[in-house]
Every structure is written in C-alpha cells, then in structure tokens.
Structure 1
Amino acid sequence: MILADVSIKRPVFAFMMAAALVVMGLFSYRELGLDLMPKTDYPNVSIRTQLPGASAEEIESQITKPIEEVVNTINGVDELRAYSSQGFSMCFVTFILERDIEMAVQDVRDKVATIVAKFPRDTFPPVIQKTDPDAAPILTIVVSGERSPKEITEISDKKIKQVLETVKDVGDVSFIGERRREIQLLLNADRLNAYGLTVDAVREAVQRQNVEVPGGSFIAGPSEIELRTMGRIKEVRDFNRIILAYRDGSVITFGDIGRVIDTIEEPRSLARLDGRAAISLLIRKQSGTNTVTVVDSVLSRL
C-alpha cells in the first residue's frame, strides 16, 4: 500500500526510482559473470605421479599400490580408482558429499607425503589436486605451418604462449603436440662394459659437470660481490669432453663410450590440423573469472 500511495501521490519520484533500477540493472548485467558450469566443489581428488622410463608393472607395484594403501585409510573415501601405464600413475579418489573437500585434499597430501621417500629414484613429486570445473580449457588455438615441428614449437612458445600468459585472468597456457629440442646421450654397451662403467655412473658424471652452483661472495672494498660457478655446458660437442673416470692414468670421457645427438624429443602427444602436424595451445582461465571476458581478451591480444 505504501508503494502504491507514493506512486499515485508522487508519480515523478516513482518514475525516477524505476528508471534508476533499470539503469542499475543494465550496468549490473554487463558485469554479470558468465560460465559454462555453475561454481561447485566436486568431492574428487586426483593424484598424478610420473617416473619416466618405468614399465607399467613397475609403476603399479612401486607407486600406484603404495598410494592406494595409504589413501584407503583416509576417513570419508567413497571410491578409489587407479591406472598405471608406462612412466605414469593416476589415482582418483572420490569422497562422500559430506566431506569437506579442502580438508580431504590436505589429508591426501599428508598421507602421500609419508611414502614419497620410498618411491623409486627419479620419481617426480606427486601432483595432488581437487577436481575443478574452471580447470577445463576455455579456448584452443591451433598452430600449423610449413616449418619443422621444432620451429613451430619455438615460435608458438615465444610469440603466442608467453604473450597470452600475460593476459588478465588467464591462468595457464599449455601445449599439445609440442616437439622441443633435446640433447640425447647415446651409450655404447660394449664400450661401457669394457671400461667397467655403469649407466648410473655416467648419469652422475653428466649431472655433476653440467650444473651452475652458487660460489659464495667476497668483499671488494665497500662492496660485496656474489659469485656463481659457471659449469653448465653451452655447446653440444662439449658433452663428449665430460670426464667419467680414470683408468691406468688415462682419462675416460663420454666421447669414448657414446655419442651425442642434437635432436627433438619423442612425441608424447599429437595435434593435427587438416591432416598436417600442428601444435595446440590450451588456454585456461583463473578460477571464478568471467569466461566470455577472458576469451575476448585473448582474441583481442592475438
């Protein structure tokens, strides 16, 4: 009744109030967030672990099963699924809906941390994260051309990926089908045995002689100068000069037991455009941001 009385007795005031609400609604609509899926917290946690070069059986027995055993002891686990493949372990943990997902993720991290030290050498640290709808790519850009896969990868990285990572609200830009430069050290098994060396010994020697480490500091008058040991190999041919061992007064270098190849890495993923090899860039936004606005910002930057 009060609203009706005001509208009758003061029609101009009522009209202005209605107009103000309409204007505010229009401005609010422009700022309204748009997304494909509503903001929800799924009770799912994934555990991704990598051990390059390991067989599926090794991954299963030394990584996947130990993870399953400790995760199964967490309160509120509804379902546990795990997959093992060459060099890769993936575990999916589903909790009951009543379980707080943030606390569940922390419990998983704490449990997995107790067995990380028992994983095989060279195992990458497990990546533990909850399922997030915002983590899905919102835009895919495909790059192809007449250049080599290595050149396309380098151009895509420097000219596109690094630029798009600076766009507001862009959370991540990742590759599919990239082929990066790789220096391969190929060993001759017969020469290795003849010199009494092992693969581990060669690897340790390469790591030890291809590294940059802090060198401390020294005082020069009123200034303190930081030092750094420049030990990283710059030229591919210099790998042949890495010293592996000494035998009967002679120096054994890598060139004595193997060879170095400057090539590109083996493909781990593939992307194609019109039947030709290509590289896909998957663009993900930051959680909670406007999907349409982020896509428009990315396209305008391109």
Structure 2
Amino acid sequence: MKFFQAVVNNKITVYILTLIIIVIGITSYVSLPREAAPSIKIPYVFIATVYPGVSPQDIENLVTQEIEKEVKGISGVKKITSVSRESFSSISVEFTSDIVIEDALQKVRDRVAIAKTKMPADIEEPSITEINFSELPMLYVNVTGNIGLWKLKETADKISDKIEEFPGVLSADVVGGIEREVKIDVNADKLFSYGLSFNDISNKISSENLNIPGGSVDIGKSSYLVRVPGEYKEPENIRDLVIKNIGDNKIYIRDVADVTYGYADRKTFSREDGKESVTVIVKKRSGANIIEIADKVKALLNNNKELVPDGVNISFTGDNSKFILNTVHELENGIITGVLLVGMVLFFFMGFKNSFLVATSIPLSFMISFAVLSMMGITLNMIVLFTLIIVLGIIVDDAIVVMENIFRL
C-alpha cells in the first residue's frame, strides 16, 4: 500500500516516468531489426564429399571412415550418421543442445582438413554446412531482357557486387546465364603426328599465361613495384604460342588445335514466366533488418541506368519484407483499434477519465515490451509479432477488469 500511496502523492514523477517510457519505447520500436524468422540454432553439421566413379564400398573405406575417425573426437558430439553411395559420402554430425554452433562448425572444418590428408589426392573438396534459417534467401532479383544471356549475366554480376556492399547483406549469389571462356579443341591425330601430348599444351599455356612479379626499384626516396604482365587478353595470342621446336620448324598451338572464344558449360539455370533470365539471390546476415535491406536494393535498381542498361528489365520475387511489413501493420492497426474501441466502450460506462487510463495502458505496455526486446537483442520477427498481437487482447481484458473494480470501490 505504501508504494501505491507514494505513486499517488507524486504525480509529477509518474508523468516523467511515463514520458521516459514513451520515448524509450518509440526509439526501441524504430531501431528494432525486422526479419521473417527468429535466429534458431540447430546443432547439426553436415559433411558432403564427392569422389567421382568410386563404388559405395570404396567410398565407405576411403572417405567416410576417415572423416568419422577425426570428427568423433570433437567434444560435444552426440551422434554421427553417415551414408555412402556411389561417388558420394554424406555425414551428419549431431551436437548437444548447449554447443555454440559456430565453434562446432570450425572444429569440424579443422578435423575434416586433417582427414583429407589421409584420403586420395583426386577427391573433391568436402562441403561442410550448417542449417541456419536466418540465412535463407530474403529476396530474388530477376534480370531479363533481349540483350543476350552473356550480357544479362554481366549486368547481374555488377548488381551483385553493389548489393553485397550494403551492411547486413551476407551474400548476393548469381544464378543462370552464361560465362565467356577460351576453348582449345585439340586434334588428337595431329598431336600424335608431332609426338606431342595434352600435357605439353597445358603446361605451355600455364607457363605463358601469367603475370610475373619483378620485385621493386628504388629511385631516391621512392620505391616502385615492377610487374611483367603476361596474361592474354585475346584468344589470337594463344594460337601463336610455340609448343615445341623441331629443328628449324616451330609447332604452334594453331597447328594442332582450334582456339575459340566461346561460352562455358552452364551449371545453373534461371527462368521467369518461361523466359531465360539471370537471378540474384540476396541473403541477409542474422539479426539484420530485412525491410531496410529490401528497400535499399529496390532503391538501387530503380531508374539506375548505370547498373540497368536499356533493354534490361528488373523484377522482384520471393520478397519476405512484404510479409513482415504486413504483419507490422496488422500489429499497429490492432493497437490503434484496441485503444479506440476500448476508450469508446468504457467512456459510456465509466466516464472519460477511466476510459482514458485503460486506453493508454495498451500503448504503454507495448512501449515497455519494445524496450525490453531491444535490450535483450531480440528482433521483431514473425513469432514476436504474432505474440504481441495475441497479448493485445489480454492487456485489454486485464485493464478493463482492474479499472472496473477500482470504479466500483
């Protein structure tokens, strides 16, 4: 009773505390990061290894068992499950729930690196991944147009580089399109007639097509780095490389092979409405503001002729920020509607003063909630928003019950 008596006798202090709650609450609400789902850490690490053309039994003996021997010594490992198929090894490592997944991931990488030294040299690099829902794609930027897939890929690469400069962006991966590459089609019969092998051509190109550092030159107080550029810019230069000298005769690459500037084999495909496109997949970092990132990406690409040339169209799909915006608007509408309806109903039964006190309890309660969420480092995600919407009804009910009993007394 003394506490409530002190509150009643010090109205100015209560008004100041209320104002402080409002300021802190609004500031916290504006600064809270928005994201689709909360950051959930799943204590699993997956190891996938490809060894082409090897039977399941050999995969088990040469790859799976070697990795298991190293990984099982990591502290916190709860269970290891493995599957060996033709050309492929898959290992799932389950850790205890109290493990820090980032530390576990690094430990697995270190142990797999040790195991790789005991495996065949021609094995592909093992892929080590975790499950992180916060790093799922948040936005797809589709690049379409009539300028050709290669130009679309080039445009998408530039867009990707710009997007990755934004704070909070984890990656902007480019899917689809084609890339240019120099193709050297060797005639095996001509190669054999000159007594040459594929290694002769490969070694010659590798030794010629590189930049050579030349150290430094000191002139007075200045020091200049010397570099001999040797990388070829045009395929014609590769055609004129001398593979071997036989007497006075020189054997060029053009004598045994056709050199063309073509396209690499496609590894990924992307389509929009049945048409070829190139897609930039945007992923955010855990805890980053999904709405802020989406707005920056859209602002970057709107009417930007430097990044988006004529003939290129940009569209957005899989935009998770729209869902978060709609949910936030639902919460705001619920708060405003609750305040108005409660105030109107109670005004007829309890008068203006009591209805005003009940109505103000709703936004003040949410202000305190936003401040606590901000201090705890919790983002404004789908779970938090739905919880706040549900709690809105409880706050209204409790406020009405309390004020009704006070009114009776």
- Three-state SS of the structure 2 residue aligned to 1:298 is helix
Further displaced range: 75-84 or 1-10: 75-84
TM superposition shift of 1:140: 0.5
The alpha carbon displacement at 1:80 in A equals 2.8
Task: For 2:190 and 2:57, locate their aligned partners in 1 and report how far apart those are by CA, in whole Å.
Answer: 33
- Alpha-carbon RMSD across the aligned residues, in angstroms, is 2.8
Matched, 1:152 2:148: no
| Closer/same/farther in 2, CA of residues 186 and 63 from structure 1, 3 Å limit | farther
Q: Which has the larger radius of gyration?
A: 2
CA contact (8 A) 1:170 1:294 kept: yes
Q: Which runs of 5+ in 1 are unaligned?
A: none
Tell me, yes or no, if the aligned pair for 2:134 and 2:285 is still in contact at 8 Å.
yes
Shift of residue 48, structure 1, vs aligned partner: 5.4
Q: 1:292 to 1:169 in 2, by over 3 A?
A: same
Q: 2:222 matched to which residue of 1?
A: 223
Amino acid at match of 1:203: S
Give the Cα–Cα distance (whole angstroms) in 1 for the partners of residues 222 and 68 of structure 2: 57
Shift in Å, 1:285: 1.2
Structure 1 residues 101-250: aligned runs within 5 Å:
101-117=101-117, 118-120=119-121, 125-158=125-158, 160-250=159-249
Once residues 63 and 210 of structure 1 are traced to their aligned partners in structure 2, the CA distance between those partners, rounded to angstroms, is: 37
Q: Which has the higher strand share?
A: 1
1:141 alignment partner AA: V
Q: Cα distance 1:283–1:25, how it changes in 2: closer, same or farther (>3 A)? A: same
Letter in 2 for 1:21: I
TM-score by length of 2: 0.64
CA distance in 1, matches of 2:84, 2:285: 28
Map 1:75-114 → 2, pairs under 5 A: 75=72, 76=77, 77-81=79-83, 91-98=90-97, 100=99, 101-114=101-114
Q: Which has the higher helix share?
A: 2
Say if 1:32 and 1:64 are closer, same or farther in 2 by CA, change over 3 A: farther
Q: How far off is 1:183 after superposition?
A: 1.2
Secondary structure of the corresponding residue to residue 39 of structure 1? coil
The alignment partner of 1:34 has SS state of: coil
Q: Provide the C-alpha distance between the structure 2 equivalents of 1:227 and 1:218, rounded to a whole number of angstroms.
A: 7
Structure 1 residue identity aligned to 2:142: V
Given the superposition, is the C-alpha separation of residues 221 and 64 from structure 1 closer, same or farther in structure 2, using an over 3 Å criterion? farther
Change (3 A) 1:218 1:11: closer
Q: CA deviation at 1:4?
A: 1.3
27-36 or 257-266: bigger deviation: 27-36
Cα distance in structure 1, aligned partners of 2:20 and 2:55:
64
Write the letter of the residue equivalent to 2:216.
Answer: S
The yes-or-no answer on 1:72 pairing with 2:71 is: no
Aligned partner letter, 1:5: Q
CA displacement at 1:175 relative to structure 2: 0.8
Distance in 1, matches of 2:284 and 2:60, equals 31
What one-letter code is carried by the residue in structure 1 that aligns with 2:300? Answer: R
* Aligned residue number for residue 279 of structure 1: 278
Q: Name the CA shift for 1:248/1:283 in 2 (closer, same or farther; >3 Å).
A: same
Identity of aligned pairs, percent? 23
Secondary structure of 1:72's aligned partner:
helix
- Tell me how far apart the structure 1 counterparts of residues 3 and 296 of structure 2 sit (CA, whole Å): 44
Q: Deviations over 1:166-205 (max 9, x none)?
A: 2221121111102111111111111122222222332121
Counterparts of 2:257 and 2:58, CA distance in 1: 31
